[in-house]
Amino acid sequence: MSDQLPPVAVSAPGKVLLAGGYLVLDRKYTGLVFGLDARIHVHIKPVATGTGVTISEITVESPQFEGAIWEYGYRLAGGGGGINVTQLRADADLSLNRNPFIETALAYALSYISNEVPGMITPAHITILADNSYYSTSSPSSRFHDFGVPLSAAHKTGLGSSAALVTAFTAALLSHYLPSNVFDLHSERGRRRVHNLAQAAHCAAQGKVGSGFDVASAVFGSCLYRRFSPSILTSQGEPASPNFAANLRNLINESGEGAEWDTEILKDRVKVPQGLRLIMCDVSCGSQTPGMVKQVLKWRQDTGEEAEELWRRLQQSNEDLAQELVNLAENGGSYDKLKDCIGEIRTYIRKMSAMSGVPIEPPAQTELIDACCQIEGVIGGVVPGAGGYDAIALLIEDKEEVIQKLAKLLDGWEVKTQAEEGPSVGKVSILGVREEMQGVRMEDSRGYGDWIEYALEK
């Protein structure tokens, strides 16, 4: 049976929340999220077994990192609990190197598959490959870089690797195991089911119900996003618990009363005018996003109407930005209003920073963005998402000379307004990414060359 299943490869893009940080947590507001052309790739290849040999094992490997290999056994749980996934210990003396995103996504996807078409799950080897921009590197020449360090030691650039991983991983498993008449990634229904399943698994893996904008953009690409109601996922239960598989299937397929997801994903509200592009600059520093979010939400709750008024003004500015991008894409014109929209958003963000005491746009980032905006061809920039010291996003004219001037500015950049407390800003570099309108997609499974053979031989 395993020999009859062909290899499958799927990729999903990273993301940048250009506008709507913090607001996107509340269904009253939206987020303007762009997919990025840095992708996480997942390749699945069946494992052939000899005659009379039966194994129930799936191996997952990320060969760009040291020791990044996980072996899982799987079996059908009783009481309709779906598939119980257990990480296997290669050496009794070694502690398990757990990866909650892989393990949870595997358990959710296999449980869903087993309920859709029982008996389809067979042994497999899964290889995960990340485009280089997900991790700070020194301009590698190869398509995929051997980072030479454990995954835990790699410096992430904040492009949404966990959401892209869970999305590509989920879509690859469904595409590999389910017949095309049951699941088709090219169809709207197929992408919707990947979205629902990846959202459920990603939230479970991170231990909370997040807004989900990162998974939405990994599935659908750039979009204007309104989050789903958290209550959709609060009563799902754990893998292997009674009736987990049937409950999960109803949740993913949106079958049954009140099961429809209320997410809004508006593709036509996001466009990039011809002649413009989005770029990201990595700031080798980083922020503690969960702590920042908690502090901002507490400030909002404690401050009441004053905070709410600021959020409403910021939402209107975000909508104005999205609309102006569409207007320019469809009708052309000068970038003056676009510059004003970005400037207004930054004004409100800095006000929120001051009122909440959270460094959403800290002075060091203000200095950096202001300096970039002095370069001819740079329309404007923001500290995306939850803000802090992770990165900045810039809208620029799509010209090589603009990139060259930015690179010259950032080479040896030193912050003059470094805060006495908080992280110190390190090297700033342009990441080799730009906006990506397309979301999750099938790839040529033969297009990964030695990386797949290397993974299987290690």
Q: Note whether 442 and 7 are within 8 A (CB).
A: no
Terminal Cα distance for the chain, rounded: 25
Is 423 a residue whose pLDDT tops 70? no
In percent, the amount of the chain with pLDDT more than 90 equals 74
Of 186, 215, 214, 211, nearest to 198 by C-alpha is 215
The values of phi and psi at residue 57, to 5°, are -145, 140
pLDDT tens digits for range 29-76: 999 999 999 999 999 999 877 655 567 899 999 999 999 999 999 999
Q: Note whether 443 and 396 are within 8 A (CB).
A: no
Q: Note whether 212 and 203 are within 8 A (CB).
A: yes
Name residue, tokens 């399943």. Answer: 197
Structure tokens at 448: 């990964």
pLDDT tens digits for range 259-287: 789 999 999 999 999 999 999 998 866 55
Q: State the average pLDDT over residues 285-311.
A: 87
* CA 93/CA 74 separation, integer angstroms: 22
* CA 79/CA 193 separation, integer angstroms: 24
What integer best gives the mean pLDDT of the chain?
A: 90
Q: Which class for 424: exposed (0-12), middle (13-18), buried (19 or more C-beta within 10 A)?
A: exposed
> What is the per-residue DSSP string for 319-366?
HHHHHHHHHHHHH---SHHHHHHHHHHHHHHHHHHHHHT--SS-HHHH
Residue 419: which pLDDT band, with cuts at 50, 70 and 90?
low
Residue with more model confidence, 90 or 211: 211
Name residue, tokens 């835990």. Answer: 152
Is 116 a residue whose pLDDT tops 80? yes
Residue with more model confidence, 237 or 410: 410
pTM given for the model: 0.93
Considering the domain 271-436 in this protein, what is its CATH number?
3.30.70.890
Domain boundaries, the chain: 2-267+441-457, 271-436
Beta bridge partners of 59: 71, 125
Beta bridge partners of 396: 277, 378
* CA 184/CA 197 separation, integer angstroms: 14
Containing H/E element for 435? strand 435-436
What class is the 2-267+441-457 domain? alpha beta
Beta bridge partners of 83: 76
Cα angle for residues 212, 108, 220 (degrees, 5° grid): 35
Total length of the chain: 458
Residue 97: which pLDDT band, with cuts at 50, 70 and 90?
confident
Containing H/E element for 166? helix 161-177
* CA 160/CA 134 separation, integer angstroms: 8
pLDDT tens digits for range 365-385: 999 999 999 999 999 999 999
Structure tokens at 410: 């950032």
Check residue 150 and report its DSSP letter.
Answer: B
**How far are the Cα atoms of 133, 260, 278, 387 from residue 143, in angstroms, in the given order?**
10, 40, 21, 29
What b/e sequence results for 157-183 when a residue is b if at least 16 CB atoms lie within 10 Å of its CB, and e otherwise?
Answer: bbbbbbbbbbbbbbbbbbbbbbeeeeb
